[in-house]
Amino acid sequence: MADIVSQPWFWPAVIVSVGLPLALIGLTEFHNALARRGSRAAPIVLMVRNYLVPVAGILVLISQPGAWEGEGTWPRVIWTIFGLLVIVVTINAVNHLVFHRAEKGSWRDRFPTIFSDLIRFVFIILGIAAVFWWVWDADVAGVFAALGITSIVVGLALQNAVGSIVSGLFLVFEAPFELGDWIETGGMRGQIVEVNWRAVHLDSGNGIVVMPTAELAGGSFVNLSRSPDPYAAVLELSFGSDDPPGRVRELLVATARDIPLVAPDREPSAATLPGGMYAVAIPLRNPGDHAVVLDTFATRVWYAARRAELHLDGDMTDDWRTPARLQDALRQISPTLSLKPGEADGLAAHARLERYCAGESILKPGMVPTETRFILAGHVMLGIPTDDEGFVQVTKLGPDDAVGLTALSRSQTISRSVALGEVDVVVLPVAVLDEIVRMHPVVAREIVRESENRSRLARMALQAAGEYLPHGRSVLG
């Protein structure tokens, strides 16, 4: 037994026959654990297990005295393969430790990929040269000299192009923006969806714009997402010279505040400009909503100005709100209020017509209505806002249904009534409605019945959404 142990081949054979399987088993379990965690180090461990360790086992065997006669080529080939594998594994491991595990926002995270690729390329060339010098006794000095001369020639020939690329790379390394940011440059606005060493890809809402990083580095741009205040969409409008500026500004702010895409922690603002002009600034949740918000605002402010009897763009005409149309509207709702034809005509002095566009709030939570609106055409969604800025739909109201039933009880509503399309309504002040109820008590009973029905529907809708109706609160929208 002592003779066998003393043989030069014994311990290498033990290492290969026992150590190699144990190493492969250990690396397999390690790789599986990394793969389950989704670690990017798993491929590196797999390369060590499948290639580096088996080649190392072969080297252990052929490196023993007498295992290979003479200075053959195959041992050098195997040593070359082993050296190249060590280089690849080492570079990948360093790249993983330095860059892949970098903390977000650190210099390693902002380090341009092209720079790390160039560094890896240089180390690979140096490693290959070292392997050939050590294994094959190759003279690599001439190779490096030729490589240096070639680099100088290519650099001089491409100095302009390389300069643009390098300036773009330094812009990426500086990281004045990141994925998801909105930037504005050269009259174009877009969201950054991809950044690489050559170009920045912007989603403009009308296609992807590929902008060279060198172009951004050589010019100026505005990062709309890095401002301490939300990005504000600005629109200028004109009103009639007889319109009180205070009322106009209140109208503009109230209309802008009701748009869902407006930033919740900032208030819209309006300013008076010379010549009957006004500027409204609307802070946005997302700069990408700029066009949508301005379109929505411009649409809604037209309807709001007509309801407030203000003259947007100096327009003094209103062919829709006519006495004849108002009389027709009162006759339409007279059965709902148990009115006789003569009684309905007598309300014309106190009633008025209003029109809303899709998305406008006819009644908001927290309001104590002083008027009740009866739908003439269109539909209105009655719902309840939730604490997480959601909206639970209760029921859909149609022609002859009323919005603002809590006007009679002088109570605060917790519901929101939103126009689903263009909605025409006739408005009755609460004093007029009180007189109608006094003359026709059946109207009060119908209002109470409808209020209870809406409360029942609200409880069902809230329970289905996992919410609950506040105790003792009415939902009479």
Q: Per the structure block, which two tokens stand in for 73?
A: 């080529």
Token look-up 């026959």 returns: 17
pLDDT tens readout for residues 319-377: 888 899 999 999 999 888 888 877 888 888 889 999 999 999 999 888 888 899 999 99
CATH architecture of 176-223: Roll (2.30)
Write out the E strands in 251-345. Answer: 269-273, 277-283
At 293-315, the pLDDT tens digits run 999 999 999 999 999 999 998 88
Q: On the CB side of 20, how many CA atoms lie within 13 Å of its CA?
A: 19
Q: Kindly give the residue spans of alpha helices, DSSP state H, lying in 16-72.
A: 20-36, 42-47, 53-62
Signed CA dihedral, 210, 213, 218, 220: sign only: positive
User: What does the alpha-carbon distance between residue 46 and residue 1 come to, in Å, rounded to a whole number?
Assistant: 38
pLDDT at 102: 61
221, 188 contact by CB (below 8 A): no
- Distance, CA of 411 to CA of 477 (rounded, Å): 11
The pTM of the full predicted model, rounded to 2 decimals, is 0.64
The predicted structure's pLDDT at residue 181:
85
How many whole angstroms from its chain centre is CA 166?
A: 31
Output the pLDDT for position 50: 87
**Residue 384 bridge partners (DSSP):** 392
Query: For 275, left (φ over 0), alpha (ψ -120 to 50), or beta?
Result: left
| Strand spans (E) along 358-461 | 361-363, 371-377, 380-385, 391-397, 402-403, 416-419, 423-429
Asked if 331 and 352 count as a contact pair (C-beta separation under 8 A), the reply is no
Q: In sequence order, which residues have a C-beta less than 8 Å from that of residue 431 and are 6 or more positions away?
A: 350
Show me where the domains of the chain are located. 6-157, 176-223, 232-307, 323-464
CATH architecture observed for domain 232-307: 2-Layer Sandwich (3.30)
CATH number of the domain located at residue range(s) 323-464 in this protein? 2.60.120.10
